[in-house]
Amino acid sequence: MKNAWWVGSSVGVLIAVGAVIGGGVWVNHSGFGLDHPEPMSVEMPEQLFSSAIDPDATEAPDFATLEKNLTSQAADSRLGTFVGVARDVESGEVVWEQNQGTAVRPASATKILTAAVALYELGREDTIKTEVVEGEQPGTVVIKAGGDVTLSEEMLDDLATQLGGQDIGTVLIDTSIWPDEGFASTWDPVDVDAGYIADVEPAMIEAARIGGSEGDLPRSHTPALDVAQALADRVGADTVDEGSAPDKAVLASVESDTLDQRLARMMKDSDNVMAEGIAKEVAASKDLATDSASTSKMTLEILKDKGFDLSGVSIVDNSGLSFDNLITPRLLDDILTRAATEPELSSLLTSLPIAHGTGTLEDRYDGLSGAGWVRAKTGTLTDTSALAGVVTSESGRVFTFAFVSNGSAIVPAREALDEMASILRDF
């Protein structure tokens, strides 16, 4: 029996209706154990970790029936050109597949690759420091951008407090840590005002959102300068500009959330800016170029070095916003299976939205058995819908899956994908 380390749909995660979401797993060195509490309990279950698969069971699971049901659902006309795969984590057996090695447009399911690479290279406890240093000229301070695209108003307040009492007339910002372009040639500039992307710079307030901290709000066209302006407003400075940070005393600093926390935010809203920022952070840590072409190449090289099959796969960004990305369901599922069996990637699973509970899945799965049990990354572009994640079945088995629909209307395809994942839950 395969050892697995998986933190699943999460211990004591509360959704809006006050329910505890079940289906989590934590497995130790001695064997495969599953967290299998009731999914809709209003109180925390007394026992969080219990075996969901009867160790004395001798009858082999009826994967043939499961395969038949999935094949039938895959033929649904709502899915257009459809490819996918589902795997039993305990045995490692592929229980269903349809052209799993065919590379198709994945949309934001691309973020699964980005998250895996970040966890491999940076580690789940990685944080980013933003510093303010003394400038060359009297009355000048320089923000030394460190790659944090999620600076908050509270963090800026903190910096201003630390600078209190100083006579500051000019605030500069140094963005040299990411010297290359921040807006890929394959992105549409209209998507900035639409709220999907921005020029990705190494210091941004709430991923450059204007007027809030969540969702697809319009994004700023000058995100780094906005940071400088926000600090200038707080300390009473009249001038803001770009500039180089000298090797002088650090006057103030703030630290980002951990990578785990940032990945959870990225997945929740499927935030393209955060995905690209995290990829640039990885590249900078390796002294590599930080343009999108280079960071996407880096992502694939790291995955190849980790032993993943990249046949047919090509990406030009790390968010999935580009229509030029091509990824196989096999690669998506392989990463998810690794996350279910390797401690290093386990937090990738806990970052995924919960069906009918959180993030991009909050308003989906109404009336479906997968509600509260499926955790998955969505993907949406014109004529493209994807769903890739993990689910604990009625029988206690854990399945990973990757389903991608191209050439389909978004809403009907989403409904069909949710029904397909619910078939795994019903097993």
Catalytic residues: 108, 111, 270
CB 416 within 8 A of CB 386: no
How far apart are the C-alpha atoms of 168 and 148, rounded to whole Å? 23
Residue 294 backbone dihedrals phi, psi, to 5 degrees: -75, -40
- Choose among 269, 318, 277: nearest CA to 298: 318
Tokens of 8: 């699943």
Tokens of 360: 């991009």
How far apart are the C-alpha atoms of 411 and 418, rounded to whole Å? 11
How far apart are the C-alpha atoms of 216 and 204, rounded to whole Å? 15
How far apart are the C-alpha atoms of 372 and 382, rounded to whole Å? 27
> Counting beta carbons within 10 angstroms of the beta carbon of residue 375, is it exposed (0 to 12), middle (13 to 18) or buried (19 or more)?
buried
- Choose among 272, 259, 176: nearest CA to 216: 272
Q: Quickly tell me which residue has 């973020």 as its tokens.
A: 111
- Which H or E run includes 83? strand 81-88
